[in-house]
Amino acid sequence: MALNETHDPQLRSWVAAANAAGADFTLQNLPLGVFRRAGSSEAFRGGVAIGDQIVDLAAALQAGVLDAPMAAAQPVMNEFMAAGPAAWSALRLALSRALRSGSPQQAALQPCLLPQAEAQFALPARIGDYTDFYTSIYHATAVGKLFRPDNPLLPNYKWMPIAYHGRCSSIAISGQQFQRPWGQILAAGEATPMLAPSQRLDYELELGVFIGRGNVLGTPIAIESAESNVFGLCLLNDWSARDLQAWEYQPLGPFLGKNFATTISPWIVTLEALEPYRVPWTRPAADPQPLPYLDSPQLRRTGAIDIELECLLQTEAMRRSGQAPCRLSRSNFRHAYWNIAQMVAHHTVNGCNLLPGDLLGTGTQSGPPAAEAGSLLELSAGGKQPLTLPDGETRRFLQDEDAVIMRGWCEREGAARVGFGELVGRVQKHVG
């Protein structure tokens, strides 16, 4: 994609909150999601975030303010995702012009706004399949050292994007609360596993990638066109029960340690909105270079995206005393060893067909230093080094009623800030 008038950092909106310093949902962002008025029985419908407001696309289309496909206003956005980049870009341009300061459409569009604080959100798409990748070499190496000290990074990691197929039925929108999972655990020094609640519950700081146009079964997606099949990105927390995972993952990989909950943020930020934050994708010269189907000149020039990621924790004690969440770590997606186009190209190279609304996870996004780890497993060195929180509490892994908050944003001089909003999930005690 190329920069266009929607990226102009000088543009301002008549929605005042969109112009505030540190605003996530600027006029240059315009992410999409699905919502309804909180506490109502209204149908869910498509919307666009601007400042602290939501443009109700159904209302705007009904009022004739926007000339856009009705698919964008549906309770799920799969049909609009399938429409392709030209349709997505056209809606973005129309909204940008309608929401700019001085727009003649302001009077007609203003009644179509709803404050985000008064909205309830739903999954933005009917997710037919979910694949979670493992794109951070820093995370893969750190975790590998904990489980395989003599051989932390398996040889295939540097040759292809590694992934597993997850469970889409337990994916929920931000605000998800779930019970602590039970499963088989093999305690240290024991020969017989026991059925018990997980004591090593963890989060994983990730991005989610929503597929737009899919591909026909048997027809791979080429690396050069892979990103035209991507609708946009969201935040993703792939909750993990590390003790269940450690016992079950050999020989076939994650199962009960992963499938009990996955949380995503409500808003999908399009790749077009992220265009000003492209940076070169690089591979160390001493490492194996990707096979031709995973490499291209365009990928090398602009294949990485500079997205800051942050994870915070708020314990029950912190909430009771009115303390704000504390930051656990901060990292950046630009450090990913494998990028979005490579994920899509590899996923389909065997002929696998992706469908509109399918979700890919990037895997835990850890940065080069240990302090930029995207999971407690890394931050606590497998539970051996507890973290001390500002109120004196300690954590090796998550406890009941802990809330994990994730945020993401892009920001640099000469470009408007583009944010992802917030993802929140909370662990509840298992009942029964």
CATH number assigned to the domain comprising residue 30 = 2.30.30.230
Pick from 266, 16, 235: which is nearest to 116 by CA?
A: 266
pLDDT digits (tens, 9 = 90+) for 235-279: 999 999 999 999 998 888 899 999 999 999 999 999 999 999 999
Q: What SS3 state is found at 301?
A: helix
Quick check: 375 and 139 in contact, CB under 8 A?
A: yes
> Using 50, 70 and 90 to split pLDDT, how confident is the model at 53?
very high
Compute CA distances 209 → 291, 301, 414, whole Å.
23, 21, 26
Q: What is the largest CA-CA distance in the chain?
A: 73
pLDDT above 90: percentage of residues in the chain? 95
Q: What is d(CA 171, CA 54) in angstroms, rounded to the nearest whole number?
A: 23
Among the ranges given (149-153, 181-185, 211-215, 331-335), the one the predictor scored with the smallest mean pLDDT: 149-153
* Main-chain phi, psi angles of 337, to 5 degrees: -75, -35
Same-domain check for residues 416 and 285: yes
Q: What is d(CA 54, CA 39) in angstroms, rounded to the nearest whole number?
A: 16
Query: Which pLDDT belongs to residue 432?
Result: 63
Burial of 292 (0-12, 13-18, 19+ CB in 10 A): exposed
Same-domain check for residues 58 and 145: no
pLDDT digits (tens, 9 = 90+) for 278-314: 999 999 999 999 999 999 999 999 999 999 999 999 9
Residue 430 has pLDDT above 70, yes or no: yes
Query: Which pLDDT belongs to residue 269?
Result: 98
Question: How many domains are contained in the chain?
Answer: 2
Of the candidates 122, 140, 155, which is a domain's last residue?
Answer: 122
Q: What is d(CA 50, CA 19) in angstroms, rounded to the nearest whole number?
A: 10
> Using 50, 70 and 90 to split pLDDT, how confident is the model at 411?
very high
DSSP state of 289: P
Same-domain check for residues 62 and 105: yes
Average pLDDT of every residue of the chain: 96
The gap between the terminal CA atoms of the chain, to the nearest Å, is 52
Of the candidates 92, 122, 152, which is a domain's last residue?
Answer: 122
Q: What is d(CA 304, CA 260) in angstroms, rounded to the nearest whole number?
A: 31
Q: What does the block give as tokens for 15?
A: 């929605």
Q: What does the block give as tokens for 322?
A: 């009115």
Residue 210 has pLDDT above 90, yes or no: yes
Same-domain check for residues 59 and 180: no
Q: Model's pTM, two decimal places? A: 0.97
pLDDT digits (tens, 9 = 90+) for 16-52: 999 999 999 999 999 999 999 999 999 999 999 999 9
139 annotated active-site:
yes
Q: What is d(CA 263, CA 174) in angstroms, rounded to the nearest whole number?
A: 6
Q: Which domain holds residue 85?
A: 5-122
Instruction: Tell me what the mean pLDDT of segment 325-337 comes to.
Output: 98
Residue 67 has pLDDT above 90, yes or no: no
Going 222 to 231 to 97 to 298, the CA torsion angle's sign is: negative
Q: Among the options 7, 139, 335, 347, which is catalytic?
A: 139
User: Strands 418-428, 176-179: parallel, antiparallel or unpaired by DSSP?
Assistant: parallel
Same-domain check for residues 256 and 341: yes
Q: What does the block give as tokens for 65?
A: 């303010």
Same-domain check for residues 32 and 135: no
Same-domain check for residues 375 and 396: yes
Residue 186 has pLDDT above 70, yes or no: yes
Residue 190 has pLDDT above 80, yes or no: yes
Query: Which pLDDT belongs to residue 305?
Result: 98
Residue 431 has pLDDT above 80, yes or no: no
Q: What SS3 state is found at 152?
A: coil
pLDDT digits (tens, 9 = 90+) for 360-401: 999 999 999 999 999 999 999 999 999 999 999 999 999 999
Same-domain check for residues 97 and 139: no
Same-domain check for residues 234 and 192: yes
Which residue is associated with the tokens 């994730």?
Answer: 406
User: Quick one: three-class SS letters along 44-95?
Assistant: CEEEEEECCEEEEHHHHHHCCCCCCCHHHHCCCCHHHHHCCHHHHHHHHHHH
